[in-house]
Chains A and B, each alone.
Chain A
């Protein structure tokens, strides 16, 4: 298993001053650029009253998102929350799916580890998973009688290959931005801070009565502490839910691809479909949860 190149954190491609540009920053920037380009194009497009084709597609997506916001928050608040909810949904969705594009993770570049990433030659390498697979096949062709022996040998060979790989320092050029904990943590912080912002905007300083309530007896004081803790737990749970799902999906695909025989490459396909579905669901979950939390923060405790 160690031969599979799995890295929990994103790897640095090169450095601009003190800023390390990782492969997930690269992917995230490309996705952001595409999203912004789409928005600019759609904004400058000559729109028809009766939408058809591309305009129809975009409008129906936005309408679905708007109706979702309206169902939870009501008409007036929906206008306020909609931009943030729709943006986070589309950004997360495209980032999740960008990790599923073939070539993501398999296009690698060579990196000289001694020079700390200052000189990284952009040499596209062959698919790493296939290489290790070929080695397993070779070992099986060797003359060993028992199956367990062969497997042990194969594992040994794989470990050797992985060490060699690490020595050379191959790193993937692209990595889904949401498969990096930094991105998901940033998204979680944005969501939670906006929750506080809208809470204060709707309820004034009375919003903080939820956390610091010393007048209504000891029980409410304790409940306030719990609320305060749960606000921080929200950041962690937002960040790890998204990161875990996307990253685990990538690991799952790599492991299944390495386990399935070379001559039968259709095996990872159902898992690929699952990951497309999970990417959508997680984007929806993030948007929905943000929406529900924000909406809850804007409702006064006395009202319900």
Chain B
């Protein structure tokens, strides 16, 4: 049971960013479908946006790691 808070921290923390990254990817695919010529530009912006969404999951991961290892 000692590992439970760690699992809960990263598990709950991954929900929001997961949805966010999914939305970003979905909208980017839609945009590329509408305008395939802009694909490189959309892709770079998509990856940047994903990095921001992912950062929130990383905060949760840092908390989980602190709980686990400190």
Contacts and interface: CB of A to CB of B under 8 A. Distances in A.
B2 to A, nearest CB: 11
A256 to B, nearest CB: 15
A240 interface: yes
Interface hub of A237, A248, A288 (most chain B Cβ within 10 A): A248
Interface string B31-70: 0000000000000000110011011001101100110111
Contact of A6 (B48, B54, B58, B65): B65
B65 A247 contact: yes
Interface string A1-24: 100001110000000000000000
The range of chain A's interface size is 10 to 19
A245 interface: yes
Interface residues of B, number: 15
A240 B62 contact: yes
A251 interface: yes
B58 A7 contact: no
Interface string B14-30: 00000000000000000
Nearest to A251: B65
A224 interface: no
A284 B59 contact: no
B62 A281 contact: no
A99 to B, nearest CB: 15
B24 to A, nearest CB: 14
A284 B58 contact: no
Contact of A240 (B54, B59, B68, B69): B59
Contact of A245 (B47, B58, B65): B58
11 contacts: A6-B69, A7-B69, A240-B58, A240-B59, A244-B62, A245-B55, A248-B62, A248-B65, A281-B47, A284-B48, A285-B48
> Lowest 3 A-B CB distances belong to which pairs?
A244-B58, A241-B55, A244-B62
Interface of B: 47-48, 51-52, 54-55, 58-59, 61-62, 65-66, 68-70
Interface of A: 1, 6-8, 237, 240-241, 243-245, 247-248, 251, 281-282, 284-285, 288
